[in-house]
Every structure is written in C-alpha cells, then in structure tokens.
Structure 1
Amino acid sequence: MSNAEPRFGRLITAMVTPFNDERELDLDRAQALATRLIEGGNDSLIINGTTGESPTVFYPQKIELFRAVVEAVGGKASVIANVGDNCTADTVNFAKDVAKLGVDGFMCVVPYYNKPPQEGMYQHFKTIANAVELPIILYNIPGRCVVNMEAETTLRLANDCENVIAVKEASGKMDQIATIAAAAPEGFSVYSGDDSATYDIMRLGGAGVISTTGNVAPERMKELVTKCAEGKWDEAWAAHEALLPLMNGLFETSNPILVKEALKLVGFPVGGVRLPLIDATAEQSARLASIMREVGVL
C-alpha cells in the first residue's frame, strides 16, 4: 500500500438523508448534519448512497440534496454524489447533470436486479467513466445487487479508466479484496464497505472506509482508520474492538433504520425513513441505546 493520502481521504461517511415529519427532504437539517460530520473528522461525504435512502429519493430530490450539501461543506470537504443506477444510459445522463452542481466525485454501484455478467459491468462503468471527467468510486455490494464484481473486472476498470479511482468493497470476500489491493495501479484506493471489516481490509492494504457508523461516531471511526494508516495495529485493534458492538448493532435490521434512530438518541434527530423501510421499534431503540452506552457514544 502506498502511504500517500488517498484522493478522498480515509474516513468517508455515507450520510443519511434527513426528512421532516411529512417525510419530505429537510435540506436545512441535511446542511447541519453535513457540517457536523465534517467537524467530527470526516474527510469526505457520500450523499444519497444506500444509507441516504437512494432507492426512495428521486432524481429531482437528489439534485436538491446534492446542491444543499455542496453549499454547506463544499471547499471544506469533498462531496461525492451517488449517481449509480442499473441503467447505464440513465446513469450517464444523471451524472452529467450532477457534475454541474459542483460535486467532487461520483459513486456508482454495480447494476442491481438485471444481473449483468462481468463484461457487462465493465462496459457499464467504462461508459460512465468515458462520459464524465469527475473521479468515480465503484461500489461492489453483492448482498444488495445479487451479483459480485470480481477482482479482475475491478482491476480492468482501475487500469483502463483514469477517473475510476477507488472501489467500495462490501463483498466480504477477503481474498478478492486482497487481490485488488495488491494489484491496483498507483492512486487507486480500496475502501471497506463494511465498518466492521475496516481493520481487516486496511491490513490488506485498503485506504479506509466508506462508513455508516461515521454518521453517529465519526471521531471513533476516524481514530480507527488513522491508527491503521499509521501502522499502529495494536491501537487500531483496540479501537476496532471498542466500537465493534455498535458497528454490528446498527445493522440488526435494514440500514439506515437504526442509524437514523441512533442520531435521534444522541440528540440530533434527522426524521424517520421512507417506506418500504419502517422506523425502529421501541424494542430496537432500547437495545440500540444500551449498545451505544456500552461503547460510550451515549
């Protein structure tokens, strides 16, 4: 792993999308949350990723959200817009529109539902990369997409597309992640897509994490990635172990139900989730609060 600071830093949080009581976008709260997350130690933010409820925030609302966050933190931190879709043409058109808003980069997920073969994934991402100038983070999450992007495909894209600069790996396949980290060209970063795998992936040469927990405990996630980057593995492991119950606890039901509940519990409410997700139950909230007290974030 090169010790050069990665383009978008080491701690990137996939920010939740705040809603008001009617479940409409709360742009003021989004700006306040973005500011809070940067002050908490985040290097960059991904806006409207899975944690930001991308499936239920439609294109015009995504644009409003991107614009608001750029206005709030642009210049202080990188704003990465999640523009990926399972239609290549739609993704290209949307990315071109979003590029005009002043974002610093894009995240694009492996196409979901239509199950492309590896060559289809390659052509999808290459088409997007050729159509835009901004840097792109690939996002491999077989648990939500059904298909896994193999190391060979990721590395082809890393080598063939100058603006494909990173991958968010949430496959859980450590051998695959190790292969990518070992063979990636200079300047290409591998990010953990699971908070709980951050330590292991950084040991394999990963650059950092694209985090959910960073919404709630950014200082603690920052400590973990910093210790890993410095090669202080014993201290990093201690930081990992201390936060692990929360990293796991936030995923006891579908993300981002419990992240939004956790923000409410720490006194920074961001509203509930949109259907078909449902808000945390009283039991889930009580269990989460006890985990948060256990790890010292409440």
Structure 2
Amino acid sequence: MNNKKFAGTGVAIITPFNTDKSVDYKSLEQLVNFQIDNGVDYLVVLGTTGEAATLTKFEKTKVIELVCKTNAKRVPIVIGFGGNNTSQIIEQINEFDKFSEIDAILSVAPYYNKPSQEGIFQHYKLIAEASPVPLMIYNVPGRTSVNINADTVIRIANKIENVIAIKEASGDMQQIMQIIKNKPKDFMLISGDDALTFPMIQLGASGVISVIGNAFPKEFSQMVRNALSGNNKEALASHYQMYDIIQNIFTEGNPAGVKAILHQKSLIKNELRLPLTPVSKLHYKNMKMMIAKML
C-alpha cells in the first residue's frame, strides 16, 4: 500500500462561518486553494479543527463536495469519521458515496466511554474492515480521556491491514519513541502536535497533520520538508520562529486561535459555533503583534 502521499504536511482545515453562523462556502473554497497553492501535501476535512461536531449531516456533505471539487485531485484528501459508537461510524461509512474522491479516513479514539485497550483494538478492527480506503487512527487523550497505548498501536499496525498510520497527539515522547521503534516499516507515525513536529520528525515521524498550517501553509510545510530531508539547521530555525505563535493559538481553544489569525489575514470571518467562541480582544491583539514580530 502506498503511504508516501501522506508524508509531509497535512492540514486539518477549518470550517469558515458567516456572521449568521451558516457555513461560508466561498471562504472555504478560497482557503482550500490557499493551502494547495502554498505547498501543503494533503488536506484533512471534518476534524476537530473543522468543528465537525457542530455541523449537520447536510453541511458535512456540502463541505466534502466543495473541498473535493475545489481540490480537483491536486492533493490527497482525508476525511474525519470518528465517534464513540462503533456501529454508528460503520453505518456512516456504509452510507458515504464519495470514496472515489478521498484517499483515507482519520478516526479519533472513542471518547467519553473510556474503553479498554481491547475495546479500542476491536473498535478499529471493525471500522477498518468496513472502510474501502485506508484508515488512520488518532490518539489525542487530552480530548478523549483515553490513551491508545504503544502496545495497542503496534498490535493494530501488525494485525489490521487497512490501518496505515497513527496521528499521535499524546505529547508523550517515550510512547512516541516506543511506537516508532517497534512499528512495521510501512506504518506511519504522524505528529498531531504542531509544536512537537520538528523533534518528532527527528525521532522518525513521517510528518504532521497541522492546525497552524491553516494560517501559514507555506512556512510550516517548508519547515517540515526541511526536517524530513535532513536540512535541520533551516528546519530548527523555522521551528523556533513559529514556536510562540503555535503555542498561543491554543491558549483560548482550537480553532479559535487559528481562526483569529486567518481573520487577520482577511481569509475568513472571525466566527465559531457554540460552545466555542472567538478569542478575547486582548489575545487577538497579542497574536497580531506576535505575528508582526515573526514576519
């Protein structure tokens, strides 16, 4: 299975909203082109950063259709299909009719239920069997309250053929190293943490699924390319150039921070759907000053 198309920088694309909270499809089209024109390697649609939890089924379908049409097969597309009801996810996959347009599914660990490691394994086994495209698993215990431990990841990688990667956002570097050391050669570990992407690539990660890439696709993609190709001096300089703003986009929640920057760049309106709200005026101002210094 060719996994190389998922090396480098994937961007977990935001969903822009109008002032009446409807989806701003015009800005979404503009944003897709902005990402591709500035060198990202693939797009991830309907993830946490895309506020998928607040979108209706109709809106999700329209978002996918627009992204696929705008992309026009220029870069791979990954769609988020996740939840804490295994059978419901499988139903959604079975009902989805646009697999010819996408390249993989990203599925977050089942949240709230706090399943055992065996439950996590069986959850992904059934989803992978139902999916006609490769599956990436997503470990983000800070959001889900459950960690996919290294032994379970290695078991999944060896036993479930259709699972090709893990997006790792645990922040546990020992766990990350254990996975990289023991995983099958073709199984990819992808950073799910912008601030740790450079060190994770040094340890053997294949790239990143990024939030900051929404606002700085050219700069962040170049940092990742330099790190993957061994141009570490340049990559490290870029890493530290962007480090403070990366830290600060999450201070008042995601995607509130990155949406504020995109608003400053006149790419979107500064709108989110409840329960998320825009960043405070003070934080908005602070990030604007930070970006001015960075550039």
Quickly name the TM-score band, shorter chain normalised: over 0.9
In the alignment, the residues of structure 2 paired with residue 120 and residue 139 of structure 1 have an alpha-carbon distance, to the nearest angstrom, of: 15
The code of the aligned residue for 2:237 comes to A
Partner in structure 1 of residue 179 of structure 2: 180
Aligned counterparts of 1:51 and 1:150: Cα–Cα separation in 2: 24
SS of the residue 2:4 aligns to: coil
Maintained 8 Å contact 2:29/2:66: yes
The alpha-carbon deviation at position 28 of structure 1 amounts to: 2.4
Corresponding residue number in structure 1 for 2:28: 30
For residues 35-81 of structure 1, what are the alpha-carbon distances to aligned partners after superposition, in whole Å with 9 as ceiling and x for unaligned? 11111111111111111012211333212111110111041011111
Query: Residues 5 and 229 from structure 1, CA distance in 2 versus in 1: closer, same or farther, beyond 3 angstroms?
Result: farther
Secondary structure of the equivalent of 1:149? coil
Q: Is the Cα contact below 8 Å between 1:190 and 1:206 reproduced in 2? A: yes
Shift of 1:99: 5.0
Deviation string 1:194-245 (CA, Å, 9 cap, x unpaired) is: 1000011101100001100000001111111111111122221111011101
Q: What is the distance in 1 between the residues matched to 2:26 and 2:241? A: 33
Residue deviations 1:21-45 (CA, integer Å, cap 9, x gap): 2111122221221111111111111
Is residue 2:56 matched to residue 1:61?
no
RMSD: 1.4
User: Equivalent residue for 1:152?
Assistant: 151
Segments of 5+ residues of structure 1 without an aligned counterpart are none
Q: Which amino acid aligns with 2:255?
A: P
Match of 1:84 among 82, 100, 114: 82
Percent of residue pairs bearing the same amino acid type: 34
Deviation, 1:100, is 2.5
Moved more, 233-242 or 206-215: 233-242
Q: How does 1:81-160 map to 2 (within 5 A)?
A: 81-101=79-99, 102-160=101-159
**Equivalent position SS for 2:62:** helix
What residue in structure 1 maps to residue 266 of structure 2? 267
* Aligned partners of 2:188 and 2:206 also within 8 Å: yes
- CA distance in 1 between partners of 2:197 and 2:46 (Å): 21
SS at match of 1:258: helix
Q: Which residue of 1 aligns with 2:198?
A: 199
Q: Return the offset for 1:98.
A: 3.0
Tell whether the 8 Å contact from 2:157 to 2:164 is kept in structure 1 after alignment.
yes
| Contiguous gaps of at least 5 residues in structure 2 | none
For residue 149 of structure 1, report the CA deviation from its aligned partner. 0.4
For 2:137, what is the secondary structure of its paired residue? strand
Structure 1 segments of 4 or more deviating over 3 A? none
Q: How do residues 40-55 of structure 1 correspond to structure 2 at under 5 angstroms?
A: 40-55=38-53
Aligned length: 293
- Contact 1:66 1:103 survives alignment (8 Å): no
Look up the equivalent residue of 1:26 and give its one-letter code: D
